Amino acid sequence: MLKPEEQKLLSVCIIGKPNAGKSTLLNKIIGQRISIVTPKVQTTRSIITGVVTIGDTQLILFDTPGIFKAKKRLEKAMVKCAWSTLNSADIIVLILDSGAKIDEMMDTIILRIKELGKKVVFLLNKIDLHPKYYLDNLNYLIKNCPDSHKFNISALTGHGIDGFIEFLKNNAQKANWLYEKDDITNLSMRFLASEITREQLFLKLHQELPYNLTVENESWQNKSDGSVKINQTIIVSKESYKNMIIGQKGEKIKEIGTKARINIEELLGVKIHLFLFVKVRKSWEENPELYRSMGLKP
């Protein structure tokens, strides 16, 4: 264990539009899936904290909800959550999908983060797909943010990630670590377990199911044989969504539960007994307690 005076620390906030690759990037750097990834936009709802310690340096990375023009109350809370994290970070990392041209919304995001006066890094993501707008976006950044650092990466394959991590390490300052050397997150296992189930719901039903559902851990029982019994409730706003999740003769919810259980077992390293239930709460998005359980302010 390094002495406190030998330790270095850096906090990094990762922001961007929905589906730009923020969660994929965090998972790649951490080396484990702690932030769920689905084809659904706005999958990440609150701040997901990842921790990686490399040599004498500890990096604390914040994966944030995607920034977009929010309309609903939940959406506005998510976007507000993303912006609020920037002030606590040493470096702001803006990740761009190079397959999408910088538009008015992205222009506004870039202008706003420049006004904060913090060091900003741009990641041009999905470079492995030979994206259509890569050169347009790069030229925009060279013109409007000439002093910023820019990296070509693929969060999915890992291309360019080592150089980015080396840059982060070189910018770390002498400070005591905030976490133990082997820690990868400050999130509770209960939160991660509910997120895993929500991920499976989106993956199995992403074409049909709206994103505005939530998953609650009703009970968590550590059994004498070392296994864990988890009861989770999936909350939706309509009866039709409940029927969709359950499926014919309960086949769909069984499929979702099986996959979620396997992933939770991989995360916790113990046998899991997972039981899923579905409840309809028509106005659940107006419940401040649920917002707080997501890490959001109502």
Could you read off the pLDDT of 86-96 as tens digits, one per residue?
A: 888 999 999 99
Do the first three CATH levels of 4-174 and 189-293 match, i.e. the same topology?
Answer: no
pLDDT for position 16: 92
- Place 68 in a pLDDT band, splitting at 50, 70 and 90: confident
CA 211 to mean position of chain CA atoms:
15
Average pLDDT value for residue range 170-192: 93
| Domain spans of the chain, in order of start | 4-174, 189-293
What do you get for the CA distance between the two ends of the chain, in Å?
Answer: 41
The pLDDT tens digits of the residues spanning 251-271 come to 999 999 999 999 999 988 999
- Place 41 in a pLDDT band, splitting at 50, 70 and 90: low
- Place 110 in a pLDDT band, splitting at 50, 70 and 90: very high
Which whole-number Å values give the CA distances from 24 to 19, 74, 155, in the listed order? 9, 23, 6
- pLDDT at 37 > cutoff 90: no
Residue of 290, 181, 176 lying closest to 233 (CA atoms): 290
Q: Which helix (H) or strand (E) holds 111?
A: helix 104-114
Q: Which CATH superfamily is domain 189-293 in?
A: K homology (KH) domain (3.30.300.20)
pLDDT for position 292: 67
Which are the contacts of 177, defined by CB distance < 8 A and separation ≥ 6? Answer: 7, 9, 53, 58
Radius of gyration over alpha carbons of the chain, in Å? Answer: 20
Q: How far apart are CA 36 and CA 48, in angstroms?
A: 10
Average pLDDT taken over every residue of the chain: 89
Average pLDDT value for residue range 215-229: 94
pLDDT for position 293: 67
Of 117 and 230, the structure prediction assigns the larger pLDDT to 230
pTM of the predicted protein model = 0.86
pLDDT for position 2: 77
pLDDT for position 295: 66
- Place 27 in a pLDDT band, splitting at 50, 70 and 90: very high
CATH architecture, domain 4-174? 3-Layer(aba) Sandwich (3.40)
Q: How far apart are CA 133 and CA 67, in angstroms?
A: 20
The size of the chain, in residues, is: 298
